[in-house]
């Protein structure tokens, strides 16, 4: 099982700086997911900045979220 997210910081160019419960800090590029309708609102920089950590993952006000495994496996 991959570690959960405990902190998130939105950065320029639609990248999330993620801190995981094991202390790792990794960077997740959200742009490849914008091709899906569910994630298109994240392409607005003001909305993208509203991200928050919730229950081991990240979430936006309208319910967009990523699986914690996706965040860990696709981050660097």
Which residue is listed with tokens 């309208």? 62
pTM of the model: 0.94
pLDDT class of 9 with cuts at 50, 70, 90: very high
Which residue is listed with tokens 């997911």? 33
The DSSP output letter for 50 is: T
Our measurement of the distance from residue 68's CA atom to the centroid of its chain's CA atoms, rounded to an integer in Å, reads 9
Cα–Cα distance measured from residue 27 to residue 74, given in angstroms and rounded to the nearest whole number:
9
Write down the pLDDT at residue 45. 98
Structure tokens at 72: 């860990």
Q: Which residues have CB under 8 Å from 24's CB, separation 6+? A: 3
Write down the pLDDT at residue 1. 84
Rg for the chain (alpha carbons), in Å? 11
Q: What is the pLDDT of residues 14-63, one digit of tens each?
A: 999 999 999 999 999 999 999 999 999 999 999 999 999 999 999 999 99
Write down the pLDDT at residue 43. 97
């Amino acid at each position: 099982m991959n570690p959960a997210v405990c902190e998130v910081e939105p950065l320029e160019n639609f990248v999330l700086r993620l801190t995981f419960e094991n202390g790792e800090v990794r960077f997740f590029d959200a742009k490849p997911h914008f091709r899906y309708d569910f994630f298109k609102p994240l392409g607005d920089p003001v909305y993208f900045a509203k991200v928050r950590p919730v229950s081991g993952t990240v979430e936006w006000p309208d319910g967009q979220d990523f699986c914690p495994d996706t965040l860990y496996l696709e981050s660097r």
